[in-house]
Chain A
């Protein structure tokens, strides 16, 4: 693998520098008006520029493979740990504060401009079990495909070339956010939301849970998602100068163990 394709890892800071000749950090342009860039002037009211792009990226219908994954919910349902809205909420809260926080910080760092190959290694280090590494790379590859089609960018092309079998999904998510003109906090939001939203929608299918209850679970977790996204964004910014050591490494051992077991089931509804 040729690191120079993606970035200069020997640079003193952890900023990702695309080699000269590429478009650099500029938004991909299709013509006089960059189609992907958020409006540069602040919008009237409190809504941040780029909000619409964030909604697209975080939409469960964004075609990046998420529908086939339960975020550990299938294993937890089978073990009896999720059986109703209350236990679903506990599960989603736990995932948000552990794997969710870690993913959100990786995404924020990628959106801030930290070298994605450094982040990909950091993600491996934060993902101890092989089953979840495989899942993260598979989903990263699928997200890469969708993101390159939706928000073409030389940075996404460069990472795709360096990691043809897929980089960790949160890293791709952060870079996709960046290509969509979003800031690190928006990237963190997308990852944090997905960490709870994935299991919640899977639980509806697994338990025939009332869909209104599942959505209420997410609404109840919203203030915590705000805090996680803010913390992750702050860590992502710090990683620009301090490197990946600034990123949280919160883990959930039970998710890890259950994911390994789930991967060996012969009959299952979800891929993870």
Chain B
């Protein structure tokens, strides 16, 4: 190591944020999906896999709170072959595993790259948690925060790190809005207020092609990621 080494943290390769693989090629884009319990994170992951698996090499890491249900749901629905899905155990603290201590998730990501790679895209689903759960930049390159209309139309107004800072805010289950009395326009206005120019997607995953706005956003991110200098 040179004394005048320009990098302050030259050891970054040991924790996986480095965008290059050891061989110098650009590694897979990692996208985190977080949000409250039951908002549709696993449904989004499943729909994204179905929409993108023919054009991209994809793997998924799930972080369940006390079961392997998300991983098992994805397996049961055969959205990806089993060797492309990995479940991380989080000791009752899903936000710790995606933010404060990302070591188990990094290992899962690297093992997937090693086992079934090279990959284009890795989706990391957080176990359903609260409005403050966000992903570490050491783990993912971009994050999606999934809320739903049934959780109350005041969630965008309340803000919190997930709603305000996520690279994409998804307001899911728009099909349920009439039944739960949620005002979608108000949600859109509040989200705009909280997020400025950051994008928001309104989705209904029960509709055919319902995941398209998210899939398009992923394609854009991936294009930008691949085009960036290695």
Contacts and interface: CB of A to CB of B under 8 A. Distances in A.
Does chain A bind chain B?
A: yes
B90 A68 contact: yes
Nearest to B92: A269
A192 B144 CA distance: 40
B171 interface: no
Contacts, number: 77
A1 interface: no
Counting chain B CB atoms within 10 Å of each CB, the highest count among A61, A141, A149, A267 belongs to: A149
B93 A67 contact: yes
Contacts of A65: 101, 103-104
A268 B66 contact: yes
Given A64-B101, A65-B103, A67-B96, A148 B11 contact: yes
B15 A31 contact: no
Interface in B1-41: 1, 3, 9-12, 14-15
A203 B7 CA distance: 41
Nearest to B9: A149
A147 to B, nearest CB: 9
Interface residues of B, number: 27
A270 to B, nearest CB: 5
B91 A64 contact: no
Contacts of A138: 104, 107
Contacts of B92: 205, 269-270
Contact of B103 (A30, A61, A64, A205): A64
A31 B3 contact: yes
Contact of B89 (A29, A63, A205, A270): A270
A60 to B, nearest CB: 10
Chain A contact residues: helix, strand, loop or mixed: loop
A146 interface: yes
Interface string A196-212: 00000010010000000
A38 interface: no
Contact of B15 (A66, A143, A149): A149
A33 B65 CA distance: 44
A146 B103 contact: yes
A68 B107 contact: no
Nearest to A23: B1
Interface of B: 1, 3, 9-12, 14-15, 65-68, 88-93, 96-97, 100-104, 106-107
> What 5 A-B pairs have minimum CB-CB distances, sorted nearest first?
A68-B91, A142-B103, A63-B101, A271-B89, A148-B14
